[in-house]
Amino acid sequence: MITLDRTYTDQGIISAGSGLYVYDSNDSKYHLLIPTTDMPQTKGAPDTIEKTVLTDSSITEVEGLQSNDQKEYTYNYHRDNIRALKKYAGKVQTFLERNGMDFTGEKFTGTLSMGRDAVSVNGILQGKFYITVNSAEEYPVDDIRDLIEKTAIIYTPLPSMEIEGTGSQVLDLQVSENATVSATSEATSIATVTVANNKVTVTGVANGNTLIKLVCSATGEASSERTIMVSVSGN
């Protein structure tokens, strides 16, 4: 009986679970940057160089240099995503791309810049950010599980708040397991905020606009930030 050498199943990697991570020197781990809709290639195809010698009857080729391409990512153009990207813009950072649920990864360094797509009627506003790759590891990382850190996140959509006078609005937050939320107002002269059991209460003080910053954190996890836009009137 002939036994086939290939007896395993060559199952491809599903894109679900993929993501772009950035290195955090505070804990020597990579944590999720922002959700993106794609992950572009890191390296282009190597150049080929023709090689001939007098004794050959044909022209052959050898592999030349391989380019590190500029990477272009698409993301939902939103205040929280913009604020997260601005922390790293213009600086050389080390990044890690997670390739789906098999936990292989691509590691590279580069400089991040950002922009916005054109705006159209009834369209989802999206942005672009770019990483100009300075260097990239030659081969993918087999297992990135020890390199990445889980991120504590808020699941609840955060609508803008319009508060009349010194009234209050309350928002119950759904967060990832074991996570808690802290909150600060960027202008306490306009609105104040308190948090109890992941329930956020925003109270008007004086007319104006401010942002409420929420920080979601958990022991052994990277923290994440979200914001609520608040307008107070009627005082």
pLDDT digits (tens, 9 = 90+) for 122-140: 778 899 999 999 999 989 9
How far is it, in rounded angstroms, from Cα 27 to Cα 141?
20
pLDDT value for 38:
87
Of 230, 196, 199, residue with least CA distance to 213? 230
Task: List domains and CATH numbers for the chain.
Answer: 19-50+59-136 (no CATH), 161-233 (2.60.40.1080)
pLDDT value for 3:
59
Whether the full predicted model's pTM is greater than 0.85, yes or no, is no
| Residue 26 tokens, joined | 């505070």
- pLDDT per residue of the chain (235 residues) written in tens, 0 to 9: 555 555 556 666 667 788 999 999 988 999 999 989 888 887 777 777 887 877 778 887 877 777 777 899 999 999 999 999 999 999 999 999 999 888 999 999 999 999 888 777 877 889 999 999 999 998 999 999 999 999 999 999 999 999 999 999 999 999 999 999 999 999 999 999 999 999 999 999 999 999 999 999 999 999 999 999 999 998 8
Quick check: 163 and 179 in contact, CB under 8 A? no
pLDDT value for 172:
96
Of 26, 32, 25, residue with least CA distance to 149? 32
How far is it, in rounded angstroms, from Cα 135 to Cα 114?
20
How far is it, in rounded angstroms, from Cα 112 to Cα 94?
10
pLDDT value for 183:
97
pLDDT value for 184:
98
